[in-house]
Amino acid sequence: MRIYCPEDDRTLERIELYLTESEAAELLAHIQRLVTSSNVKSVSLADELIEHQVVFHQYNDFEQSGFDRRQKLIISQDV
């Protein structure tokens, strides 16, 4: 797992998410789609006003097409 903050260009060791019940249900549906659909590599969840957003990317050690150079570095080295 890699947790990346693009605004600061750094990885984080820990975050805490506070979700409403409906946001948690939406997140579960997105994660299920990410896991079960081979053509879905990224999903995001935002609040109603789009002030807060969480983006999830699926990757593996062997296939990382679609990621830029910085993302590949984060995946491989967590820096």
**What percentage of the chain reaches a pLDDT higher than 90?**
46
pLDDT grade, residue 79 (50/70/90)? low
- Is 59:69 a contact under the CB 8 Å cutoff? no
pLDDT at residue 30, rounded to an integer = 93
pLDDT digits (tens, 9 = 90+) for 19-49: 999 999 999 999 999 999 887 789 999 988 8
Enclosing H/E stretch for 48:
none
Q: Mean pLDDT, to the nearest integer, of 40-68?
A: 85
**Amino acid letter, 55:** V
Secondary structure (3-state) at 75 = helix
Ranges of beta strands (E only) in the chain are 4-5, 10-11, 42-46, 53-57
pLDDT score, position 1: 86
How far apart, in whole angstroms, are the C-alpha atoms of residue 40 and residue 56? 11
Domain residue spans in the chain? 4-77
Residue 15 has pLDDT above 90, yes or no: yes
